[in-house]
Amino acid sequence: MRNAFSSTLGTSTESEPAFFPWQQRLLPLLEEARKRALQRGQAILVSVSGPLATGDRVPSSQRLRQSEEAASDAGRTSGTEQLTPLALAGFDPLQCFALGPLLGYTERFYWQEPGEGRILVGLGRAISLEAQGTQRFRQLAGAWQHLTTEALVEQVPLGVPLTSSQQPLLFGGFAFDPEQPRSDLWEGFPDGLLVLPAFLFTFAAPAPTLTINVLVGADADPLQIGTTTLAQLEALAEALTTASSPAFSPPAAPAASTPSSLHCEPLLPPAAWMELVAQAVSQIRRGAYEKVVLARAVRLLRQYGRFEPEPALRRLRESYQEAYLFAFSRADRCFLGATPERLVEAQDGFLETMALAGSAPRGRTPEEDEHFASELLQSRKNQSEHRIVVQMLRQALEHLCTEIETDPTPHLRRLKNIQHLETRITGKLPPGRSVLEALEELHPTPAVGGFPRAAALAAIRANERLDRGWYAAPIGWVDAAGNGTFAVALRSALIRGQEATLFAGGGIVADSDPVIEYAETRWKFRAMLGALGVEENHDESSF
């Protein structure tokens, strides 16, 4: 598959791929950060980024002092003119993600935007920001602003304005509802978590970049930190060299799970879930609320082998090229998926969101597909559900933006096995506002929670009997300027060894039919069932 990485790489005859000359700037920046930490009484972030390049290998730790002297003699810009794009023919960004556990990184993430959009791969952790409770978005926005205000941020080659590809960048997600009771299932995934990776690979035009992030305290030893960082770079360079070799072949994906090797169990029996839908319809008709989204989960248990994120992401990438792919690993758990829904994107003062609500299956023939599409566009139930989402999003943006514009009518968003109604909404952000502030206004939208928000959330807490965790909540990235993109974590699963928990939901309104809503969740499970290698002929009656 062609992506932003393969389309921006050049060619080179160099035999040893490496990075740009970190040795010329890393140690001086670390020493400057320690002095600033002493003055300010707080740890200082050092973030250095630049193009992946060929040339001399990353220097060993024994040469660190020599490199500092060379940098002092030659000046900051020395050596950057010789840099060329890193030649890793056929290299796949997913290989960066796969290297994480092999290099000892228990935290890692993968993010891919639709088509040939931006790809982010983070390995390790320089710092993590956590927040609990209903104020989590503004707490994290404040903590991030405080950290970046004093940060030492530099790009190699110097003198080039920093873009979102080179600025320090946090990646993470949020729980759907901080007031919902939590279970052990989501251990390590708090109400709000944003991680600054130790190493960030960004695959985007005009060239792929690598960013190193280090947090330096007042009592830090710059030489020791630099030595450790460069040793990690050497290990990373060696692993990347091996992975990009024509002779290298990634581990084969686990064989598809057959019905005899896979146990499938709904967390709530289908009949019980459909009864919840019927009760919700009754409450809506009595005027308790206009819409509520009810989710359910299915647990898979493999008899042999483990569920692995890399082959699952490969399958999702092949089948859902117009979706946002994400994976966030902590310790022994990985939350991953391919969602069609972008919650919000903020870039240079402009904000865009989408209403994605109302669903129908794809047809087995072009004629059947058009029939389903026509029914979706004419469905009173789906149009009502969609209209509620558009109305709420516009109201939310009025607290944030000026010059709000909305598509006049919804259009179809077609994915591999499902199609949705979609309406785009845009606005202009005032200076200094962050994408995290937009999350506070927008989440949860009626597409994943209901309307009115408070009444719908109360109904979910009282009736759903499911710890959603990060399912149906924002996941994505934010940079030091407040730019960023967050998607809604749909079509997703939480995997842990031999166990995987899949999530799906449906919007319930006055015209909803419990049997149809149950069938819709089964369509939505198919994306992750296929990604996890579950055979298509697996008995769907088991979930």
Q: What is the value of pTM for the model shown?
A: 0.86
53-109 pLDDT, tens digit per residue, is 533 343 344 444 444 444 444 333 333 333 333 444 446 889 889 989 989 999 999
Average pLDDT rounded to a whole number, residues 25-31: 87
d(CA 131, CA 143): 10
Q: Which amino acid is at 372?
A: F
What is the per-residue pLDDT for 32?
A: 94
Q: What are the boundaries of each domain within the chain?
A: 4-73+93-243, 266-535
Is pLDDT above 80 for 25?
no
380-393 pLDDT, tens digit per residue, is 888 888 888 898 89
d(CA 43, CA 217): 4
Q: How far is CA 322 from the centre of its chain?
A: 15
Active site residues: 291, 341
pLDDT-above-90 percentage for the chain: 56
Residue reference for tokens 């989440």:
443
Q: What is the DSSP string of 306-320?
A: ---HHHHHHHHHHH-
What is the per-residue pLDDT for 74?
A: 38
Q: 44-51 and 152-155 as β-strands: parallel, antiparallel, unpaired?
A: parallel
What is the per-residue pLDDT for 49?
A: 85
d(CA 132, CA 115): 34
DSSP state of 281: H
What is the per-residue pLDDT for 480?
A: 93
Q: Which of 136, 127, 118 is nearest to 347 (CA)?
A: 118
Decide if 423 contacts 127 (C-beta within 8 A): no
Decide if 356 contacts 414 (C-beta within 8 A): no
137-151 pLDDT, tens digit per residue, is 999 999 999 999 999
283-342 pLDDT, tens digit per residue, is 999 999 999 999 999 999 998 889 999 999 999 999 998 899 999 999 999 999 999 999
What b-and-e string marks burial along 134-171, b requiring 16 or more CB atoms within 10 Å of the CB? eebbebbbebbeebbeebbbbbbbeeeebbbbbbbbbb
Query: Helices (H) and strands (E) in the chain — how many of each?
Result: 13, 25
For the chain, how far is it from start to end, CA to CA, in angstroms? Answer: 32
Span of 154-158, 408-412, 522-526 with lowest mean pLDDT: 154-158
Could you tell me which residue, 299 or 252, shows the higher pLDDT? Answer: 299
What is the per-residue pLDDT for 525?
A: 95
Average pLDDT rounded to a whole number, residues 359-377: 89
505-527 pLDDT, tens digit per residue, is 999 999 999 999 999 999 899 99
Could you tell me which residue, 210 or 345, shows the higher pLDDT? Answer: 345
What is the per-residue pLDDT for 242?
A: 76
Mean pLDDT of the chain: 84
- Domain 266-535, CATH number (from 3.30.360.10, 3.60.120.10, 3.40.1390.10, 3.10.129.10): 3.60.120.10
Residue reference for tokens 């690993």:
329
What is the per-residue pLDDT for 252?
A: 54
Could you tell me which residue, 299 or 373, shows the higher pLDDT? Answer: 299
Cβ contacts of residue 126 below 8 Å, gap of 6+? 45, 196, 197, 198, 213, 214, 215
Cβ contacts of residue 375 below 8 Å, gap of 6+? 360
What is the per-residue pLDDT for 247?
A: 52
d(CA 83, CA 25): 15
Is pLDDT above 90 for 350?
yes
Decide if 44 contacts 151 (C-beta within 8 A): yes
Apex CA 374: angle with CA 369 and CA 377, to 5°? 125
Q: What is the DSSP string of 218-265?
A: TT--HHHHHHHHHHHHHHHHHHHHHHTSTT--PPPPPPPBPGGGEEEE
What is the per-residue pLDDT for 87?
A: 40
Average pLDDT rounded to a whole number, residues 466-479: 98
Could you tell me which residue, 43 or 19, shows the higher pLDDT? Answer: 43
What is the per-residue pLDDT for 467?
A: 97
What are phi and psi for residue 361, nearest 5 degrees? -75, 165
d(CA 56, CA 58): 7
Q: What is the DSSP string of 464-479?
A: -----TTTTSEEEEEE
Is pLDDT above 70 for 438?
yes
pLDDT grade for 12, boundaries at 50, 70 and 90 = very low
Average pLDDT rounded to a whole number, residues 234-258: 65
